[in-house]
Amino acid sequence: MHHKVVLRLAFTLVPALLLAGVVALVLLLRAQQALYQAQQTRFEYFDSANQIRLLSGQLSAGIRNYAYTGSERSLSLYRHVLAMTEGRHPRDNGRAVSNEQLLREMTLTREELNLLERARQATLTLARLEDEALRLVEAGNYAQARQKVFNADYDSYSEVVAESVNQFISQLVTRLDRNIERARQQHHHAMIAMVMIFLALMLAAGVLWLGLRRHAPQPAAGPWPLFPGQPPGIQVRHK
């Protein structure tokens, strides 16, 4: 009676475990995809934010070089970087996208957006001062042009931009790292569930196999053959 109960239980568990294994496999694949997506998002977001930070510094350096030297090469480099920030020239990765478009592609928190808005307001003031310096250089007023970009106000607004963008990147990376860790934990739990279901399935299958083997009908024993190669149960009649 005990063996029949175990056998019936094994018959019930094997299909259930197979179904659970399929579900666990689907969850594992989804967790793996979520982990990959979280890592990819972190890479893309950091790359975009870092581009904004680097190009902002290159704009300040370029306009200052031009205001100080009047070099056409400095002006060309400044306009090249400006065109990239405005989406009129491809970036190093081949994409012609503005800073605003890069940010719109991100899913950001309210605090992160506030930091970017603070940086944007300071950038508008810097852009105005840089435009004035460009016009003064073109008019030959180099001294006045240098005063526009070599002063405490310009340095202050540049620091606001750098500080805001740095804080934004720090908060962004911290949040995305948490998302990656959460996805990694889900993937780990799904993997453990998959292994446990597989082991349980192997155990149930083993119990089922043993039960079926024990309850399988045994062939009736016949008389032993008198000669080698003679089938059991066949007697040789002697005359």
At 239 the pLDDT is 47
Please say if the pLDDT value at position 221 is more than 70: no
Structural domain boundaries enclosing 145: 2-215
Q: Using one digit for the tens of pLDDT, what is the confidence trace for 52-103?
A: 889 999 999 999 999 988 899 999 999 999 999 999 999 888 889 999 998 8
Q: Taking residues 127-131, report their average pLDDT.
A: 94
At 32 the pLDDT is 87
At 93 the pLDDT is 81
Note whether residue 146 is domain-resident: yes
CA atoms of 110 and 104, how far apart (whole Å): 13
How many domains does the chain divide into? 1
Note whether residue 230 is domain-resident: no
CA atoms of 7 and 208, how far apart (whole Å): 6
CA atoms of 162 and 45, how far apart (whole Å): 17
Note whether residue 58 is domain-resident: yes
Note whether residue 121 is domain-resident: yes
Note whether residue 16 is domain-resident: yes
Residue of 29, 67, 3, 14 lying closest to 187 (CA atoms): 29
Q: Taking residues 126-139, report their average pLDDT.
A: 93
Note whether residue 233 is domain-resident: no
CA atoms of 66 and 159, how far apart (whole Å): 20
Question: Do residues 176 and 38 lie in contact, with contact meaning Cβ atoms separated by under 8 Å?
Answer: yes
Q: Taking residues 199-210, report their average pLDDT.
A: 75
User: Which structure tokens are listed for 56?
Assistant: 């902002």
